[in-house]
Structure 1
Amino acid sequence: MNQCLLFDCDGTLVDSEWLCNLGLVIQFKELGVSLDADELVLRFRGWKLARILEILSMENDLALTDDFIPAYRAVVAQLFLTELKPVDGVLEMLSNMPQMKAVVSSGPLNKIRQALDVCGLSSYFGPNLYSSYEVGIWKPDPGIYQFAAQDMGFANADCIVVEDGLLGVEAGVKAGIQTYFYNPFGEACPFGGVIHFDSMKVLAELIRANKAMC
């Protein structure tokens, strides 16, 4: 099938959003600040870490030290090892989709690799991993998806973006790529032409049905 699937990672393939924000809760607690992981997920899903830290440090009148991010990454890595799981239905979905696949994430490359390894997803993507930290482009800039499509050897029209957050959805739409929004929270989406779904178990058939209609 001449089609390329470009997946976000956190919250789309792996159920990591809450764990990543739990890492922030743990680190800020050491600084005397109480945060709520559920609230952070709702506020910052898909955001660049530097921007999240900028906002949280400003809101709590803190100056974070240079070792904050490495310490945070270490906490999250440990949480991944012990608690990370694939999003429900992802393994079945990937097994039923013969298309070329890539991961396009705002996270660091080593975090992407660890998440895929822990969840048993690495074999579906091989070396096709695109990190904002490597490419130098962060969502909602559409350049990250345009770069991935070109590097995979596909025209934008032959790609599909699968995202769970509005920043990533915006990047996919502005890149001119058909975008599927994994939206179990029922969020309102201001972007036209986006296909919403609430279970990874239906994605393979949804894509097949939409391709047949084209």
Structure 2
Amino acid sequence: MFDKPLMIFDCDGVLIDSEIIYLEEEFRVLTSNGIEVDKAWFVAEFMALAQPLWKDKFVGLIKERAGVDLTEDEFEAMKALTRERIAAEIKTVDGVEDMLSALRTKACVASSTQMQFLPKKLERTKLAQHFGDGVYSGDMVQNGKPAPDLFLFAAKQMGGDAENSIVIEDSVNGVRGGKAAGMYTIGFTGGSHCFEGHAESLKAAGADVILPSHSALLEWLAANTNTLS
């Protein structure tokens, strides 16, 4: 049993049901360039990558498949529209408020979202109160997900250690980062973006257990930790 472990949550797709918005806009740009991709493949390959890596890979995919150089203006227009939609449509993942309210141990956020946007998301959804200053972005480390740097940085800042930290991640790259950090890593499939085969992808990436909802996470925590008392 874990003794008062540090809980490290990804943001998009775990706390906030926003990944589906990102994906819809990214697929729109791909389709406009005549590119169709397998959604499950795209999610596994791209989701949660550090921002510079993600951009290079996305632009590279369009160049490879369509022979088109996506301009900086086109890329920024996609990101701006995505941010507008998230601001207007943002909502939490079902059950997250009850789960966070039940925790009686340290908890923080470790997300690939840039720091200029990450706190705003948590404030808009009224989740910021659960984390205080424990909000960490890939901007803060040299190597973002799937490298372990962000998780190790978050644990150090929170006064925790890898052996007694639990990562909750919805992406293949996030799971790989959590495991590389030496942390117990839960694959979470409660977001709207979790297409068929998502659980299998997370398991193949090394997730120690797969949980489909925050109510299931609460049950798991009750059985395997003392985080609720």
TM range (shorter): 0.7 to 0.9
Amino acid aligned to 1:201: S
CA gap of 1:107–1:196, structure 2 versus 1, over 3 A, is same
Contact 2:4-2:225 at 8 Å conserved across structures: no
Q: What's the counterpart of residue 224 of structure 2?
A: 210
Contact 2:16 2:91 in 1 (8 A): yes
Which ranges of 4 or more aligned residues in structure 1 deviate by more than 3 Å? 25-29, 31-43
Amino acid of the structure 1 residue aligned with 2:219:
E
Output the TM-score relative to the length of structure 1. 0.86
- Residue 66 of structure 1: CA displacement? 2.3
- 1:24 aligns to what? 26
Match of 1:106 in 2: 112
Q: Is the 8 A contact 1:80 1:118 kept in 2?
A: no
Shift of 1:10: 1.3
Q: 1:172 to 1:43 in 2, by over 3 A?
A: closer
Structure 1 residue matching 2:151: 3-state secondary structure: helix
1:65 to 71, 74, 83: 71
Is it true that 1:152 corresponds to 2:154 in the alignment?
no
Q: How many residues align?
A: 211
Q: Distance in 1 between matches of 2:151 and 2:5?
A: 14
The 3-state SS of whatever aligns with 1:162 is strand
Deviates more, 1:183-192 or 1:124-133: 183-192
1:138 deviates by 1.5
> What are the within-5 Å matches in structure 2 for residues 1-214 of structure 1?
2-28=4-30, 32-33=33-34, 38=39, 40-41=42-43, 44-48=46-50, 49-50=54-55, 51-183=57-189, 185-188=198-201, 189-190=203-204, 194-211=208-225
Contact 2:187–2:207 under 8 Å retained in 1: no
**How many Å separate the matches in 1 of 2:212 and 2:99?**
13
> What is the TM-score when the length of structure 2 is the normalising length?
0.80
User: Bigger shift: 105-114 or 35-44?
Assistant: 35-44
Q: CA deviation at 1:32?
A: 4.4
1:5 & 1:135 partners in 2: Cα distance?
Answer: 19
Structure 1: gaps (5+ residues): none
Unmatched tracts of structure 2, length 5 or more: 191-197
Deviation of the 1:36 alpha carbon: 7.0
**Contact 1:5–1:99 (Cα < 8 Å) also in 2:** yes
Moved more, 12-21 or 191-200: 191-200
- Any idea what the Cα deviations from partners look like across 1:110-129, whole Å, max 9, x if unmatched? 23223222222111112222
CA deviations on 1:118-156 (whole Å, 9 max, x unpaired) are 222111112222111232222111122111111111111
- Name the SS for the 1:109 alignment partner: coil
Identity %: 28
| Alignment check: 8 A CA contact 1:104 1:145 kept | yes
Aligned residues: CA RMSD: 2.5
AA partner of residue 8 (structure 2): L
8 Å CA contact 2:7, 2:105 repeated in 1: yes
